[in-house]
Structure 1
Amino acid sequence: MSLKTRLCYLVISWLSCGLIYIASGFVKGTNWIIPETPIDQFIPFNPQGIWLYLGFYVYIPYTFITVKESLVKRITFAFVITACISGVLFFCLPSSIVFPAFKNDGLSASLLAFISENDTEQNCFPSMHASLITLCLFANWDRKNWIRTITCTSITLLMYYCIIAVRRHVFIDLAAGIVLASLVWLVSGVMLRNSTKPNTSR
């Protein structure tokens, strides 16, 4: 598969998620404030985690460009399905969290403040950020290349940690995003496999 084709799939995937994410910012109504759990309280707030949080914008293109050709359509399909399901939840159940106040001192804090000011606050549950990097992890998982697998797993786990550390999400919506991605990945695999089976009926 050519790089151009891979990039087309990447654009389709990101556009579907981006449009849903932006549209959810226009939702009006009372937000469900997602409560913190002991896990959230255990992880200290740290603006420096914003750099790995933003690694999301490198991790996704890397996945689409380097993943096995046989998985490009599957991850694209999974991105679109995840965006649609997340969109329904964003519109039917607007959700937010209690964002901590912090001093805008230093580059990391300034960057986090900029993102906080320009981000939407009605679409925390489920965490699409967590969903998409989870789908990337599944796509990058390769039993024949353990270096790639371990590296991508470590990066994904660190991103999970930083998502909570910068308080863009809490554990409940992070976990919801992971569960959603896991189910969608399974379903997309089954649907694509069935669609490619030869029709033997007469």
Structure 2
Amino acid sequence: MATKNRGKIIDLLGFAIFPVLGIFYGWLNLRNSEAIELSTPIDSYIPFLTVFIIPYIAWYAYLFLAIFFFWFMDRIVYWKTLLMIAAGEVICFIIYYFYQTTVPRPALEGDSIFTTLTALIFRNDEPVNCFPSIHVLTTSIVMLAFLQIKKTNFFQKSLIHIIGAIIIMSTLFVKQHVVYDLLGSIILTVILNVLFFKVQWSFARGSNKKRAKKLQQSGVTMKL
């Protein structure tokens, strides 16, 4: 039991991946030359609502609390989620390096708390590293990974997906991203989810079938 608990504590080192990824993001955040704008007519109809800066910032807590929950509930889902995020962000970084995009930002007016927070985000995050959106990528990864946790109820699943959907939409309402950024992230998430949760599962089942066949040949049955 002590060894198992020690291993679970060591698993928390997986969170160290975030500051490492942050270093690369920060470096790419300075590369704003020749950035391309991907705005569509749809984006012009999406209003600029600074109140959505709250869920946009809440993404940090959402991401870490969800992954901590995975660590507590299911070690395999925890590690797969971390690896999906790492793989997804590396793909994003490669795209940012070779195909940097930007989003035009509206002028800020007023002195409300929402405007102040939006100004803070605008000052510390250059309008680049947009396609695909890491906010949307990581949020959608968490939303899909949560479905892999067996011991959850309807309320928990609804809560994680409602909050996740609001965070994703907030990226458009605070003009940090455009529709193409959102779509690109969702497509990438679906591909990663298939690779990490579907393809590997198929391989594992295939291995079990081969093992069962060998056992049957030796006179032993195995339930698949």
Q: TM-score, normalised by structure 1?
A: 0.87
Q: Which residue of the other structure, out of 29, 46, 49, is the alignment partner of 2:49?
A: 46
After superposition, the C-alpha distances for 1:145-167 in whole angstroms (9 at most, x for unaligned) are 22111111111111122111111
Q: Which amino acid in 1 is paired with 2:158?
A: I
Tell me what 1:32 maps to: 36
| Structure whose alpha-carbon radius of gyration is higher | 2
Aligned to 2:215: none
Distance 1:7 1:195 in 2: 26
Q: 1:4 aligns with which of 9, 13, 18?
A: 9
Structure 1: stretches of 5+ with no match in the other structure: none
Among residues 62, 67, 71, which one is paired with 1:64 in the alignment?
A: 67
Distance 1:107 1:93 in 2: 34
Equivalent-residue separation in structure 2 for 1:100 and 1:15 (angstroms): 30
* Worse-matched range after superposition: 185-194 or 15-24: 185-194
RMSD: 2.5
Partner of 1:166: 174
Residues 30, 195 of structure 1: alpha-carbon distance in 2 compared, 3 angstrom cutoff: farther
Q: Contact 2:127–2:176 (CA<8 Å) still a contact in 1?
A: no
CA distance in 2, matches of 1:105, 1:29: 31
Cα contact 1:89–1:125 (8 A) shared by 2:
yes
The normalised TM-score by structure 2 is 0.79
Q: Are residues 1:154 and 2:159 paired?
A: no
State the partner residue of 1:101. 107
Shift in alpha-carbon separation, 1:94–1:60, aligned structure 2, 3 A: same
For 1:129, which of 135, 139, 143 is the aligned residue? 135
Could you tell me which of 119, 126, 136 is aligned with 2:125?
119
Query: Deviation at 1:120?
Result: 2.4
Encode CA deviations 1:50-76: one digit per residue, 9 max, x unaligned: 111111111111111112322011101
Aligned length: 199
